[in-house]
């Protein structure tokens, strides 16, 4: 039975997603249930991504995890939620009569190694790709299939959206148990081939206020956030889905910028306030609006998450000129820590 001791090894990758209607605020911390629905664009597989390898073996004594080469605490409640839910599904499937012959024994422990090809915790949605990849890889190891976004959500809210490609909505759901708080593909990655995403890295440093604690304080203190969740986000979801379906770039871009601005306004409305935008971010915002008004047409959109790095949406035909404009206003050689350091252009081609 020598082969029984051979570890079963699976490697998968999952891409980052960029929200254009932002998730900010939970109604249930433990299950990670949001106060509003959100919508994102998943990047192409070989750009900003997490790669996770899971090995399982009957000879492993305990579950263990390494992130970017460093061992981390496996008892973290969110990791435990994902491991527990995947094992629960695997057990259910085998009780239902599927032997799961090609997969790992239910009692086997796992060793998980996960690496990002971009800076962790710089507001570049690393937890989204990370937990999506973890859940997907564990599911493969234990022979589990089907809807997994509800499990990824319990690792990190935004992770549920990275379980699908293209344009993805996370429907907030109504139930207290979270069973209807799931991600759903709105359009596949092939739907809008001219759309491009550029990431302008203003800082690769770890953000001062993490998303989880930041949104907690916002829920407790910001009446603008309450207004946004109840009266603004629902209408914007409808409009955004329509703009995506029709490939209406101007409508998509304007909603994206307004929603980013409102998210950062709720951060300022939080007490004590949270500042994710830097002076460089503000210069990028001004530049985008000047560029659009110069052409009398909305050709660019910016969006910022929990950090100062700008994500720019545009159409393929405008990329070369915009890259030149950025290089003109933010020359890499004069950055001195103040200007944009590098320019990873994440095109889909």
Nearer to ligand 2P0, 32 or 43 (CB): 32
Nearer to ligand 2P0, 10 or 202 (CB): 202
User: Where on the chain is the footprint of ligand 2P0 (CB under 6 A)?
Assistant: 19, 22-24, 32, 38, 125, 127-128, 156-158, 211-212, 305-306
Cα Rg of the chain, angstroms: 21
- In the chain, where does DSSP find H-type helix? 77-95, 126-141, 149-153, 211-221, 223-227, 233-246, 249-269, 279-295, 319-329
Nearer to ligand 2P0, 81 or 158 (CB): 158
Sheet arrangement for strand 195-200:
195-200, 310-315, 300-304
Secondary structure of residue 141 in the 3-state scheme: helix
82 upstream amide cis, omega within 30 of 0: no
| In the complex, least distance from residue 130 CB atom to ligand 2P0, rounded to whole angstroms | 9
| In the complex, least distance from residue 237 CB atom to ligand 2P0, rounded to whole angstroms | 12
| In the complex, least distance from residue 137 CB atom to ligand 2P0, rounded to whole angstroms | 18
* DSSP secondary structure code for residue 74 in this structure: T
Contact 295, 288 (CB under 8 A): no
């959500």: which residue's tokens? Answer: 153
In this chain, which residue has its C-beta nearest to ligand 2P0? 157
Nearer to ligand 2P0, 269 or 305 (CB): 305
Nearer to ligand 2P0, 157 or 308 (CB): 157
| In the complex, least distance from residue 36 CB atom to ligand 2P0, rounded to whole angstroms | 10
Which two tokens mark 224? 């603008």
Neighbours of 65 (CB within 10 A): 20
| In the complex, least distance from residue 19 CB atom to ligand 2P0, rounded to whole angstroms | 3
| In the complex, least distance from residue 214 CB atom to ligand 2P0, rounded to whole angstroms | 8
- Cα pseudo-dihedral 86, 45, 339, 313, rounded to 10: -110
| In the complex, least distance from residue 24 CB atom to ligand 2P0, rounded to whole angstroms | 6
| In the complex, least distance from residue 304 CB atom to ligand 2P0, rounded to whole angstroms | 8
Nearer to ligand 2P0, 55 or 152 (CB): 152
Contacts 24+ apart (CB under 8 A), 86-89: 86/135, 86/138, 86/139, 86/142, 86/144, 86/151, 87/142, 89/139, 89/142, 89/144, 89/146, 89/151
Contact 160, 130 (CB under 8 A): no
Nearer to ligand 2P0, 103 or 119 (CB): 119
């Amino acid at each position: 039975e020598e082969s029984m001791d051979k570890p079963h090894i699976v490697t998968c990758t999952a891409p980052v997603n960029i929200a254009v209607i932002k998730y900010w605020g939970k109604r249930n911390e433990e299950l990670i249930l949001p106060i509003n629905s959100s919508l994102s664009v998943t990047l192409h597989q070989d750009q900003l991504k997490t790669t996770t390898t899971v090995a399982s073996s009957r000879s492993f004594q305990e579950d263990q995890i390494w992130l970017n080469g460093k061992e981390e605490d496996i008892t973290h409640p969110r990791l435990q939620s994902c491991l527990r839910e995947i094992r629960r599904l695997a057990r259910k499937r085998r009780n239902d009569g599927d032997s799961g012959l090609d997969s790992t024994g239910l009692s086997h422990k796992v060793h998980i190694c996960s690496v990002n090809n971009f800076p962790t915790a710089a507001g570049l949605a690393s937890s989204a790709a990370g937990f999506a990849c973890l859940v997907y890889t564990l599911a493969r190891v234990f022979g589990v299939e089907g809807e997994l976004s509800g499990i990824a959500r319990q690792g990190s809210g935004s992770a549920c959206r990275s379980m699908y490609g293209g344009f993805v909505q996370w429907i907030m759901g109504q139930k207290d148990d979270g069973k209807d708080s799931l991600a759903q593909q709105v359009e596949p990655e092939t739907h809008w081939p001219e759309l491009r995403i550029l990431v302008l890295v203003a800082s690769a440093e770890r953000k001062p206020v993490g998303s989880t604690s930041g949104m907690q304080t916002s829920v407790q203190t910001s009446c603008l956030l309450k207004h946004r969740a109840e009266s603004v986000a629902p209408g914007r979801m409808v409009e955004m889905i329509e703009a995506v379906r029709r490939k209406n770039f101007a409508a998509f871009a304007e909603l994206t910028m307004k929603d980013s601005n409102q998210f950062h306004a709720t951060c300022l409305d939080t007490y004590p306030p949270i500042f994710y935008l830097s002076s460089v971010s503000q210069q990028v915002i001004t530049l985008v609006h000047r560029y659009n008004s110069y052409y009398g047409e909305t050709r660019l959109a910016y969006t910022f998450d929990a950090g100062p790095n700008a994500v720019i949406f545009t159409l393929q035909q405008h990329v070369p000129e915009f890259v030149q404009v950025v290089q003109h206003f933010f020359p890499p050689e004069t950055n001195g820590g103040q200007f944009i350091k590098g320019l990873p252009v994440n095109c889909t081609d």
